[in-house]
Amino acid sequence: MPTPTTAFRLLAAGAGLALAIGLGACASPDLAPEPIADAPVLPGGWHAVALPGKLRTHYSQARKDGRDAVAARSERSASMLRKRMQIAPEKLGPVSFSWWVDDLVAGADVADIDREDAPARVMFGFDGDTSKLPRRTRMMFDLAEALSGERPPYATLMYVWDASAPVGTVIVNPRSDRIRKIVVDSGPLNLKRWRDHRRDLRADFRLAFGEDPGTLQSIAVMTDSDNTRSSALSWYGAVTFH
């Protein structure tokens, strides 16, 4: 078992892993954690998942510009909606999703460890052979599982809307290289309208991680503004596999 000092350092380094799967990121000292027990359930098996130490983003069913959607309102908060699944690698292919973003998160930058907020994210968690990972990463996984009862995914692929990074940019999470982001919308040009995306999930995983994906275990959406202590308002459409 790691020493207390080592455990603290691993937990700090593993905050990105926690973000991706709804475990606990390092708690902000001035924010009390909200309870997880009353997390609502939305149709289709989507569950709201709180991050310990973080205020919770509010998710609710809504209609937006003629579409059924989930509204996400963040006020200095970070939490997500997640759905469990099992899709074998050979069955992975195109996936489509949509979002409507009211405004950019003031001061946010998904490549900056201190400003890593985004008005919209769609995340995919994959299984894999963790024995191939560095010892430090495996220790982070063990610690996260001990604290939460959940094993982090082998890899998390995240599609994001960023304030400035060019569309197509691949960003390695500053806290964990097991999370990699692809920018699919950037800047203010397409705000306040539905943005429809169709991606080749297998090809994007290869682009981001340089290997073939394993079994897809979960999908999630997330709107957060906790690091910048600001606010964000977005809507998400359905995530559909083709």
pLDDT in tens, 52-104: 789 999 999 999 999 999 999 999 999 999 999 999 999 999 999 999 999 99
> What is the predicted pLDDT for the residue at 19?
52
In a domain, 42, yes or no: yes
d(CA 179, CA 29): 25
Q: Write out pLDDT tens, residues 178-205.
A: 999 999 999 999 999 999 999 999 999 9
In a domain, 2, yes or no: no
Q: 146 with 23: CB under 8 angstroms?
A: no
The predicted model gives 118-138 an average pLDDT of: 89
Q: 9 pLDDT exceeds 80?
A: no
In a domain, 115, yes or no: yes
217: domain CATH number is: 2.60.120
Domain count, the chain: 1
Q: Please give the residue range of the domain that contains residue 163.
A: 33-133+153-241
In a domain, 148, yes or no: no
Q: Which residue has the higher pLDDT, 224 or 17?
A: 224
> What is the predicted pLDDT for the residue at 55?
94
Count CB neighbours of 86 within 10 A. 10
Q: 223 pLDDT exceeds 80?
A: yes
In a domain, 141, yes or no: no
In a domain, 49, yes or no: yes
In a domain, 10, yes or no: no
The pTM of this model reads 0.83
In a domain, 138, yes or no: no
Q: 18 pLDDT exceeds 60?
A: no
